[in-house]
Amino acid sequence: MIKILANDGISKLGIKTLEENGFYVSSNHIEQEKLIENINIEKYKVLLVRSATKVRKELIDSCPEIKVIGRGGVGMDNIDVDYALSKGIKVINTPAASSNSVAELVFAHLFSMVRYLYHSNRHMPLTGDSEFKELKKSYAKGIEISGKTLGIIGFGRIGQEVAKKAIGLGMNVLAHDKFVKEAEININFFNKDNISFKVFTKDLEFVLKNSDFITLHLPKLEEKAIIGAEEIGLMKTGAGIINTSRGGIIDETALMFALDKHKLAYAGLDVFENEPNPSIHICMHNAISLTPHIGAATLEAQERIGLELAQQIITHFND
């Protein structure tokens, strides 16, 4: 029987699908420092992870039984993919399964920003009963997102899903991607009608200068932040920025400086430079809407991720 360790968890549907096809699945989390030993003792042939577990060269070299490494999600920067492939190990991920969930979180942060929910949710429990009128006045300058321009940097699956929702909300869309020159955005409605829009990507400077809000959907391929002081300087004064992709894409020091100086009005962050120990200064900043890396953490996305991983594993071993 082929044994699978889903070290960062897997949906019940994923487990059920694998077990019905003769696989053994353990979803018990093993701490990183004990992972190599446990894999070798239990003779796991498949290791499934999300963002918490790291699969580096040392683990790959030390666990010769491993035949498949799977990432429940899109980015695989916590896996030494090229090295694993060079050792004949199949590496899989689930690029489509979480797109909708991440895109919806973008708008959760966006609405939180423009209506100051991130701030009022912190202060209403403290002074809502005694300073209700003062708080009402301080949050009375919210804006509508309809008619505003959303700049999407990274126009792959998630970026395009964000574009669908933005268009549906009446926003203008600008997009930048080094590899995607144009994309057909198909929007399906509840009554089975649909409409298509063609979006042509622009250069980064144009998108930064002409957007009211920026949302990032990029892998972190470089040590240097993609959005630093120079890029923030190109943005509109009073703009907002959202990152639900990878920590380190935004220079957090430059971001906080821009917020403090009111170059940017607000930010929404789901990912951070130093996960799982983000900067306390970021966490305490009063102009940032915060979530703890939950972009794909919906029940629906987890079901799709588990099923997609299961189907790829079954196909691989059947072949």
Closest C-alpha to 211, from 258, 252, 159, 173: 173
275 is catalytic: yes
In the Cβ-directed half-sphere of 50, how many Cα atoms lie within 13 Å? Answer: 19
Q: Which of 71, 176, 217, 246 is catalytic?
A: 246
d(CA 25, CA 4): 5
Coil, strand or helix at 146? coil
123 is catalytic: no
The DSSP result for 223-259, as a single string, is SS-SB-HHHHHHSPTTEEEEE-S-TTSB-HHHHHHHH
- Residue 33 burial class via C-beta count within 10 angstroms: exposed 0-12, middle 13-18, buried 19 and up: exposed
246 is catalytic: yes
Q: Which of 42, 131, 275, 303 is catalytic?
A: 275
Beta bridge partners of 208: none
User: Do 45 and 66 meet the contact criterion of CB atoms below 8 Å apart?
Assistant: yes
Positions marked catalytic:
246, 275, 293
